[in-house]
Amino acid sequence: MNWRRLNGDKIELPIKEAVEKTIIKEIEAGYKLKVCIGTDSQVRGGVVEFASVIVFLREKKGGFMFIHSYKKEQTMSLRERMILEVAKSVEVAYGLCDLLDKYNVALEVHADINTDPHFQSNIALKEAMGYILGMGFEFKAKPDAFASSSCADKVV
């Protein structure tokens, strides 16, 4: 997987190694960190474009993110797309959770799914919540899921 920073700089290291170096640097600088992971997608023609983000929040001092973008040429229902977004976020979180535990960094998995039943994305809320919570991660949905609904949304 190819990850990059918001400014477009490519992350050359394997993502787990890059995250560990980042955590060490931030902790040494005196920051208390939280990591939020989210994925968003957009349909353009017959292609679904996805963006997953790892957002590093410095307590009361802003934050920054790592980004992974990819495309899938497949027609899928809204529910399938929402669950695929969640699956991608869970995959990233699962790959980093032991590292985050090692450095005592809080982790949240954000789903770009609306809790209001009047919105279409709500059809996947129960499955997404069950998937994320079942994996042992803290779950956030809209309007609190900024990693997916704001950060990933801006780069997809």
CB 3 within 8 A of CB 68: yes
* pLDDT, average across residues 11-36: 97
- Beta bridge partners of residue 46, listed in sequence order: none
Does the structure show a pLDDT above 90 at 36? yes
The CATH class for the domain spanning 3-155 reads alpha beta
CA distance 113 to 29: 35
% pLDDT > 90, the chain: 82
Range of lowest pLDDT (6-20, 46-60, 91-105, 114-128): 114-128
% pLDDT > 70, the chain: 100
pLDDT score for 117: 87
Q: Which residue has the tokens 């040494």?
A: 28
For the chain, count helices (H), then strands (E).
5, 7
Model pLDDT for residues 40-88, shown as the tens digit of each residue: 999 988 899 999 999 999 999 999 999 999 999 988 899 899 999 999 9
Domain ranges of the chain: 3-155
Q: Is the dihedral of CA 134, 132, 34, 88 positive or negative?
A: positive
Flag whether the pTM goes above 0.85.
yes
Q: Is the dihedral of CA 98, 99, 102, 108 positive or negative?
A: negative
Question: Who wins on pLDDT, 60 or 35?
Answer: 35
State the pLDDT confidence band at 137, using cuts at 50, 70 and 90: very high
Contacts of 121 (CB under 8 A, 6+ apart): 78, 82, 112, 113, 114, 142
* pLDDT, average across residues 104-120: 93
Mean pLDDT taken over the chain? 94
